[in-house]
Amino acid sequence: MEQNLNIRELEVEDFFKLEYKGQNVEKTPEFKNWYKIMNNYVKEENIRLSQYYLTNPNVYGLPLLLISFCNECNSYVICSFSQEYSNIKCSKCNSHFCGGCLKKCLDGNDFLTCLKGYLKLLYLRIIYQRTSINKFNKSYMWLYYIFHILFCLFLTPFYIGFLSFLIGLIVHRNKNRKEYTWHIYKNKIIFFIIFSFLRGLLMLPYIILFFPFMIIILLPGIFSYSYYKKIFIIYITAFFCGNYPLKIKNYL
């Protein structure tokens, strides 16, 4: 599905252009007013797109929207992202860059990231309940819950160690390197995952330390299913960065 940013008439333009490079406009009344309007628009569109997917499950590739600065346009614009950790796309010039550090990406499938970009987009996926898994088998839903709870209680230290090492390995390329082959780097991702898995095992001795903390984290989920869903999404999309709205509430 192609995302149309002109679905309804806006009160202002969908970008805020700077007069010169490095201009600080974030505290100006004009920018604050523009940002307020566009931020409300982005929130409403993200909710609308999620609802659209839930009623049209065969639709593929609905993006999440956010506001970011684009160096190519020298403007604050609406951007979209889907499967990558921090790769976002400008709606004005279609350039791809990191949602955290704004570094230009190699292409639309560039999974390299920085910590800021990774956490920023992870936060949005959690807020709008987007995952990499769009379908759950209703008959085995109870198994998913049991496995997830056990994973949280006993393997959270390993998971944190695994993710921290992986993110450290797939950082953005050094722009000063003249010789760089993207396909070679991409083919090494399996090695990076295996290496991060082995390094994550070093965190297993901390299970006892994490156990009471994770019990405290999971307890509110007994009384609030929406809270538990967010925990569920964090564990899925932290590694499998997806953009499917999570639809499991009808399975309970």
- Tell me: do 20 and 119 sit in the same domain: yes
| Confidence (pTM) | 0.82
| Dist CA 196 CA 186 (whole Å) | 16
What is each CA distance from 164 to 88, 101, 118, 168, in whole angstroms?
Answer: 21, 18, 11, 6
End residue of a domain, out of 109, 131, 153: 131
pLDDT tens string 58-68 = 766 678 899 99
- Tell me: do 156 and 205 sit in the same domain: yes
Which parts of the chain register pLDDT below 70?
A: 1-12, 57, 59-61, 134-140, 174-187, 247-252
- Tell me: do 70 and 155 sit in the same domain: no
Instruction: Return the beta strands (E) in 84-224 as ranges.
Output: 87-90, 96-98, 130-131
Structural domain span for residue 142: 138-251
Considering the domain boundaries, does residue 228 fall inside one?
yes
pLDDT tens string 111-120 = 888 999 999 9
Considering the domain boundaries, does residue 165 fall inside one?
yes
Considering the domain boundaries, does residue 1 fall inside one?
no
Q: How many domains does the chain have?
A: 2
Considering the domain boundaries, does residue 2 fall inside one?
no
Q: Does residue 66 contact residue 88 with C-beta atoms inside 8 Å?
A: yes
Angle between helices 141-169 and 189-200 (to 10 degrees): 110
- Tell me: do 172 and 112 sit in the same domain: no
End residue of a domain, out of 104, 131, 158: 131
